Structure 1
Amino acid sequence: MSTSPHEADLRTNVAEHVHTPERTRPIAEAAARMAGLDPQGVVLIRHQTNGVYRLTSAPVVIKVAPPGEDHLGEVVALVSWLQDHAVPTVALWGDPAYQPLEIGGRAVTLWHYLPQERPVHAADVAEPLLALHDAPLPPFPLPPLDAFGEIQNSIASSPLLTDQDRSMLRDLSAQLAHDEPLQASGSAPGLIHGDAQHRNTLLDPAGGAVLSDWDSAVIAPREWDLATIEVHCRRFNHPPEEYEEFCRRYGRDIREWSGYEWLRDVRELRMITTNARKSPPGSPAAAEVRRRLDSLRKGETSIWNIL
């Protein structure tokens, strides 16, 4: 029997909202034991798309994916390939052939922990991102970017949105999709990170930077990654000179591209709708999503709080 789009949306929503630290911590501890590591004192680093934990007994980070995520094998293969092609990336811990682990219906990956002695700046992202964009296509398939499909799924499955919200967001998505052929073409589709930004970049002990969190890697024009950096710098109120330094190191300012404003709006809509899907009702994250929606409805340009 086929599953209707509405049923699929509901299943996605239910899966994400049972993805809590109470459920993922025991899985992270079990993964540590399976890898021969001491799970005592596991520390939660972040819990949004993945439950991310750090061991205190070894320099290891454990990432627990939400239910239904079945692409972690591709992520492991991609990271191994990136290392072979000198793209700066955080390394998997142990033998990649044994990852991902499958525990309690969740995919789990283990990574080297890199202690961070200062905040990441936009300029730190430039060199590893340029190395990624200059890399050839990998010899295995990766999905193409489907920005509008993801936006529509998030609108349909969010527990936060009112009927008026959904109508506004669908109208905006339809208008942006209609305008897409009017935009100047960007670079040829290639391998992109998909969510290149400060929190998905880590400083390594040698003083350089590496990219992390490869779950969103797709085949698409590199402008998507460049717009992501610009949106994060502007919306999250990073000093303008930090973005200018990113542009100098990367060698390009996306704002000079004729399709910039259109892609900026698509990227921001994707961020709003994704967070609307992931944020539990009544949470601080849900309140931030509501604030962004109110600003969007009023046509205001506001600073966002990072989620």
Structure 2
Amino acid sequence: MTSVNTIGGFQPPHMDEVLRRACAVAGLDAVHARVLRGHTNAVVLLAGEPVVVKIARRGSPRTDALRTVRFVRWLMEQDFPTAPLHPIASEQPVVVDGHAVTFWTYLPQPPHPVRAEQLATPLYALHNLGTPPVGLSERDNVTAIKSSIARITDLPAPLIDALSARVDRLAEELAGMRFPYPKTAIQGDPQHRNALHHGEGAVLCDWDTVAWGHREWDLVTIEIHCRRFGYGDEHYRDFANAYGYDVTGWDGYPTLRDLRELRMITTNARKIAHAPASRPEVIRRIEGLIAGDTSLPWNIL
């Protein structure tokens, strides 16, 4: 078996054991499994069957994984374009030594990434599905940002102070904002890497961030990824045209953009202890925010 790497704090010998035991419960074979990703979760492809195994960090609430499973099952019942859960011999999630483990059907991927335009159809469908029969937490970026800032341990104090002052200012702006659309189910982190090619289109995946909130949070996230990670303005314009709405033309866009970018940065900042190589990039991003540089390219962490 190829060991899960240590990105995100995973220790290979322990993770290999968790994978083996979870697969045994599910009636699957973990021999010669291959790591696909190893950041917040370990994502592993089995060798013998088209199954992807997702292992949450130890201590992540089982209820979070159970909510994801129930939500995705509902999506599948609606014939929604989602990465499908894989049927296994037991109920999901399987919990092994404090790790919630879920199993997904593997969808082979071409070498080129999903385009932003391909995300428009599934996102629009999600935003118009109605209320799911699953309790979703309210999207609260301000609280999440403040929680991350409180857990940062490896940045200079002036930078942490700048982050705190920024979120306080943006929270005041957000409090007086009027949104053009009602709340709905949102993916929470829609982006090119959280979608998969399938047939002629794309399906959404990685539902850990699903929440109840305003669709503008999803739309601004797409715009940020296009602008910050080198996809370009045309990439975003194709998405906006396909979705039928351009969030950058809304007067609340600058506040949501700044809050969403701040959450992305502070989430990575609190993880520096587990990923010390990310420190220079996190500092570069913070300094760019302080300078007001909205066009600074970001490197993927």
TM-score by length of 1: 0.90
Aligned residue in 1 for 2:186: 192
Q: Summarize the Cα distance change of 1:17–1:44 in structure 2 as closer, same or farther, 3 Å threshold.
A: closer
1:295 and 1:22, CA in 2 relative to 1: closer, same or farther beyond 3 A?
A: farther
Work out whether 1:101 is the aligned partner of 2:94: yes
Does structure 2 conserve the Cα–Cα contact (< 8 Å) formed by 1:160 and 1:281?
no
Residue 33 of structure 1 is matched in structure 2 by 24
- Amino acid paired to 1:184: R
Find the counterpart in structure 1 of residue 224 from structure 2. 231
Q: Which runs of 4+ in 1 moved over 6 A?
A: none
Q: Measure, in 1, the Cα distance between the counterparts of 2:13 and 2:263.
A: 28
Deviation for aligned residue 1:17: 6.0
More displaced stretch, 288-297 vs 246-255: 288-297
For 1:40 and 1:244, the matched residues in 2 are separated by 44
Corresponding residue of 2:165: 171
State the SS of the aligned residue for 2:167.
Answer: helix
Quote the RMSD (CA, aligned, Å).
1.8
CA distance in 1, matches of 2:53, 2:133: 27
Assess, with a 3 A threshold, how the Cα gap between structure 1 residues 56 and 95 changes in structure 2: closer, same or farther: closer
Aligned to 1:47: 38
- 8 Å contact kept, 1:65–1:107: yes
Partner of 2:28, secondary structure, is coil
Report the Cα distance in structure 1 between the residues aligned to 2:53 and 2:153, rounded to whole angstroms.
Answer: 28
Where in structure 1 are there 5+ consecutive unaligned residues? 1-15
After TM superposition, list the pairs within 5 Å mapping 1:155-166 onto structure 2: 155-166=149-160
* Partners of 1:21 and 1:175 in 2: CA distance: 42
Equivalent pair of 2:265/2:285 in contact (CA under 8 Å): yes
Q: 8 Å contact 2:83–2:104 — kept in the other structure? A: yes
Query: For 2:237, which of 239, 244, 268 is the aligned residue?
Result: 244
Q: Quick one: structure 1 residues 25 and 165, their matched pair in 2 at CA, closer, same or farther if it must change by over 3 Å?
A: farther
User: Are residues 34 and 18 of structure 1, via their aligned partners in 2, closer, same or farther at CA, if it must alter by over 3 Å?
Assistant: same
CA contact (8 A) 2:74 2:132 kept: yes
Offset, 1:281: 5.8
Deviation at 1:282, TM superposition (A): 6.2
SS in 1 for 2:36: strand
Letter in 2 for 1:169: L
**1:1-307 superposed matches below 5 A:** 18-70=9-61, 71-95=64-88, 98-117=91-110, 118-204=112-198, 206-280=199-273, 283-301=276-294, 302-307=296-301
Unpaired runs of 5+ residues, structure 2, are: 1-6
Q: Which residue of 1 aligns with 2:4?
A: none
Change (3 A) 1:176 1:166: same
Separation in 2 of the partners of 1:222 and 1:253? Answer: 12
Which secondary structure state, in structure 2, belongs to the residue aligned with residue 215 of structure 1? helix
Q: Which amino acid aligns with 1:105?
A: G
Q: TM-score, normalised by structure 2?
A: 0.91
Percent pairwise identity? 41
Partner of 1:3: none
